[in-house]
Amino acid sequence: MTTYDKIYIDGAWVPSDGSGTIDVFDSTNGEVIATIPSGTAADVDKAVQAARAAFATWSQTTPEERAKALTRVGEGLAARMDEIATVITREAGMPKWLSSIVQAGLPINSFNTAAQLAESYEYESELGNSLVVKEPVGVVGAITPWNYPLHQIAAKVAYAIAAGCTVVLKPSEVAPVDAFILAEIIDDAGLPAGVFNLVPGTGPEVGEAIAAHPDVDMVSFTGSTRAGKRVAEVAAQSLKRVALELGGKSANVLLDDLDDEGFERAVRDGVGKAYINSGQTCTALTRMLVPADRVADAERIAADEVETKFQPKDPFAEGAMLGPLASQAQVDRVTNYIQKGIDEGAKVVTGGPERPEGLEGGYFVTPTVFSDVRNDMTIAQEEIFGPVLSILSYEGEDEAAAIANDSPYGLSGGVWSADAERAKAFARRIRTGQIEINGGAFNPNAPFGGYKNSGYGREYGPYGFEEFLEVKSMQL
C-alpha cells in the first residue's frame, strides 16, 4: 500500500491543513491500495493564493517557454507509462492493455498537443482599427472524474498551462493516485512554483471551495450532471467562467439500408462502444436504435458478442475486454438499474443483476443487454455508467431521429448507413456534441463536449485551448 501524506502547493510537498485521510481501493479485489490526505478549504485557499501569485509571471512567459515545459511533462509521463496504466487499471478497472493506450497514452498526447498549440496559436489579429488580443483567463480550478482520471486531468491542466494560466487541481478521490504521479512529474520538470497545485479531497469540501473561491477565474469540471449543476450554481456567485463536461445517454442509430454484413458489423461495434471501460464512459453508445424488422437479428448478434468477447475477468489477464467497475457504489448503482429495467418490462437478452460466477472479490457486474426497450424507460433515459446496452426499435428515419434526440443529454452518438452521405445527413439532425459515422474513431484533438444536460465548453485541440483564453480589443 502507498501512503501519500502531503499535498502539492506552490512547488512543494506540504502537509494538509486537515488531519483526515481517504482510502483508495483496488477495483480488482476491493483492498486498500493507497491513502491520501483529505484536503480542506484552507488548503484550497493556500493553493489559489500560490496560483494567483504565479499567474503574474507565468502569463507573461513566451509560448516557447511554456511549450518546452509541457514537453518535459509529456516526456515524464512517457517514462512512467506502464506504472500509470497499472495504477489506473487498479483504480478504475479498465483492462491493462487498453489502459496503456487510453489512460496513459492519451494524456501524453494532450501535453504534447498543448505544447504545439502554445507555439503555433495566433494570439493577435486585426479587425478594422482594433487589435484583438487573446490572453490567459487566469487561475483555473480543475475538478476531474475517476473514469478516465489522468486523461481528463490532462485535458484541463495541459491546455490551461499552455494558454498561460495557473491551475489548482482536485482529482476524484476514487482514482487520485495518478494525479500524485503527475504532480511528481511536474515537480521534476521544473515548472515554476504555483503554476500547478494539487489539493485532493471530497467534492463537498474541496470542490465547493474551488468553485466558490473569488480568486479562481475559471472552473473546468468533468463529472455527473447533478454535480456540474452545483458547480455552476456556486461559481455563479462570483461570475467566474465555467466549463462543464457532464453525462451522456448516447444513441447509436443503425439505418435501414445496411446489408446483413454491415448490420452485423454495426451491432458488434456498438456493443464495444457501449462497454468500453466497463461502460464507465460518458460517451458510451448505450442506446442502440435498429429498424423494427431487425430487432431479432440485433438481439442475436449482441448476445453472441457479449457472451464470446465481453465476459468480465481480471483486467490484468491476457485478452481481457471487460474488467470490474471502479467501486462498490458503482456496482450497487448498476445492479439497481438492471433490476429497474426488468421491473419496467424490458427483455433481458443476456446478463442480469446477478454477480458474475467465478469472480470472488472485486467490483464486477454481469454485462447486460436489454431489448423491447421504450425510450421512456429509466434505462433509456438515465446514465447507468456500467456495461448495460438497451436495444430500441424504430419505424422510419424520422422516428429514429426523434428517439435519438428524446434525451436530456447530448454528448455523443453514432449512425451507420450503407451510404456515408446519408449517414452524415442524419448525423446533422442529432443534437449532440460529437457523433461517429460508420464507427469513426475517436479523435483526441477534435473538440469534445456536449449539448443540453451534457454541459458546455469544449476540450482538446485548438477549441480546448481557446477555452482558457480571454478576448481583449485594443482600439488603435
**Could you tell me if 173 and 22 are in contact, meaning their C-beta atoms sit under 8 angstroms apart?**
yes
Burial (CB count <10 Å: 0-12, 13-18, 19+), residue 37: buried
Burial (CB count <10 Å: 0-12, 13-18, 19+), residue 64: exposed
Numbers of helices and strands, H then E, in the chain: 16, 23
Question: Whole-angstrom Cα distance, residue 106 to residue 86?
Answer: 15
Q: Which residues contact 318 (CB under 8 A, 6 or more apart)?
A: none
Task: Just list the catalytic residues.
Answer: 245, 282
Burial (CB count <10 Å: 0-12, 13-18, 19+), residue 123: middle
**Could you tell me if 74 and 214 are in contact, meaning their C-beta atoms sit under 8 angstroms apart?**
no
Question: Whole-angstrom Cα distance, residue 108 to residue 114?
Answer: 10
Question: Whole-angstrom Cα distance, residue 320 to residue 306?
Answer: 13
Question: Whole-angstrom Cα distance, residue 81 to residue 103?
Answer: 9
- C-alpha cell of 439? 464507427
Helix (H, G, I), strand (E, B) or coil at 433: coil
Phi, psi at 390, each rounded to 5°? -110, 125
- C-alpha cell of 176? 487520485
